[in-house]
Amino acid sequence: MNIEKLFSHSFDTFEVFNKLDIQQASLTNNNSPKSVWQILSHLIIWQDYQINQLCDITTENINEIDTWVADRNISDQSILHDNISKFEKQIERVKIELTKMAIEQKDIEQKLKIVQDLTVHLSFHLGEIVLLMRQNGHYPMPNEMTDFLTSE
């Protein structure tokens, strides 16, 4: 069984962070609890924690509440770019770890649970970001996605 194939599209980000600028990253809606920037920052912190678990690096448990930055706005494009880059490297790291997994591993159930948690968590927050971006006119509607994802 090829575990990597099981998760082959589970870490797609649908280009949600491509061409993201500080104005878009600071977007919120009236009833939206967090900005795109806050969600991205949260994802990075939480994924670091989960990747450490996946790689058997001992870390202290973290409280999910402590993974949210207070500032809704980002004012520096280079900081935003650096964080997007870190996020993308995390996704690549998980994909590399998936290539190392084998069903015969003694801890495979634990590893797959972590990967499942990563994918569900990522999917949830990407959905939040897509909705925020669409509601503010910065992300294509479903009928425009094929062209959006295939154009460069």
What single string gives the DSSP state of each residue in the chain?
--HHHHTTTTT--TTTTTT--HHHHT---TT-SS-HHHHHHHHHHHHHHHHHHHTT-------GGGG--S-S----HHHHHHHHHHHHHHHHHHHHHHHH--TT-TTHHHHHHHHHHHHHHHHHHHHHHHHHHHHTT-S--GGGHHHHHH--
For residue 55, what pLDDT is reported?
94
Percent above pLDDT 90 for the chain:
67
The model carries a pTM of 0.91
Q: What is the pLDDT of residues 17-70, one digit of tens each?
A: 999 999 999 988 888 889 999 999 999 999 999 999 999 998 889 998 999 999
For residue 100, what pLDDT is reported?
92
